[in-house]
Amino acid sequence: MDYIRKNITKVLLLVLILTNVFIWLAVFESKPGKYAQVSFLDVGQGDAILITASNRNQILIDAGRDKKVLRELGKVMPFFDRSIDVLIETHPDADHIGGMPEVVKRYSVANFLEPGVESENSIDDELERRINIKGVESTLARSGQIINLGDGSFLRILFPDRDVSLLETNDASIVAQYFFGDTCFFLTGDSPIKIEEYLVNLYGESLKCDVLKAGHHGSRTSTGDTLLKALDPNIAIVSAGQDNTYGHPHAEVLERLKQADVEILSTIEHGTIHLVSDGKKIWKK
């Protein structure tokens, strides 16, 4: 303490220099680059996926059950970045939108996309209230919509292709593909096998993707053989919580993935999973 008091000017100068270094490192990391990154955030028993394009435009798909998503976003995004270009609610179950009201409160969200189905919880009401307060542009997701991120990458909406207001929430889940160059990520929400099979019949070989986000946290009700055959993925992501009461991921799903020779990466084992694409190949960061 005596040294600090006697050398306060030097100490303050050192702090300023270190602060400046950290700021410039963060700025450098935030500049446009060659790579896109898809981060499957560790939010426990829930889903939250951050797509960061090579030009640093961002899409956040779902936001977990609670405020944990804020902690994980803080780890992935530069500290000075308080904006999200597109926020997507795949469906209004609590483990997908629980953290969204706080995301809308803390971040400047430009666009909000949702399927058009309501849940019995009150979170979607609070989310709608905050979206209205912040003046966020809100749109119903429908098949054929393309969200262009400005670097050549884009998100393609596959489902819903109809009014889903009377469907069960999982059945109404937004299903989408994210493309960067020749690489593809297939993102499912909690969509069940019957919707998977419908999409395979509808889109056929165009569904082929490198990465599959296993539906419904690895539940046996999703990630069926028909979808796996159509996608022929190299990697499957399971977003689930340690010792969750649902038993996710279910053994049947893990066996299906094993039989299809798919590498399984789980947030239970790996925490947040960052997959990086250069437009030609994908690897785990």
CA angle (20 as vertex; 19, 23 as ends), nearest 5: 85
Do 92 and 72 contact (CB within 8 A), yes or no? no
Do 44 and 65 contact (CB within 8 A), yes or no? yes
Inform me whether the pLDDT recorded for 236 exceeds 60.
yes
Which region holds residue 183: left if phi is over 0, alpha if psi is between -120 and 50, else beta? beta
11-20, 171-180, 209-218, 247-256: the lowest-pLDDT one: 11-20
pLDDT band (50, 70, 90) for residue 119: very high
pLDDT given at position 164: 98
Model pLDDT for residues 40-92, shown as the tens digit of each residue:
999 999 999 999 999 999 999 999 999 999 999 999 999 899 999 999 999 99
Over pLDDT 90: what percentage of the chain? 88
For the chain, the structural domain boundaries read 1-31, 32-284
Distance between CA 77 and CA 89 in Å, rounded? 20
Distance between CA 34 and CA 231 in Å, rounded? 26
Query: DSSP string spanning 86-131?
Result: EEE-S---HHHHTTHHHHHHHSEEEEEEE-S---SSSHHHHHHHHH
Whole-structure pTM value:
0.89
- CATH classification (class only), 32-284: alpha beta
**From edge to edge, which strands make up the β-sheet containing 183-187?**
146-148, 154-159, 175-180, 183-187, 211-213, 235-238, 263-266
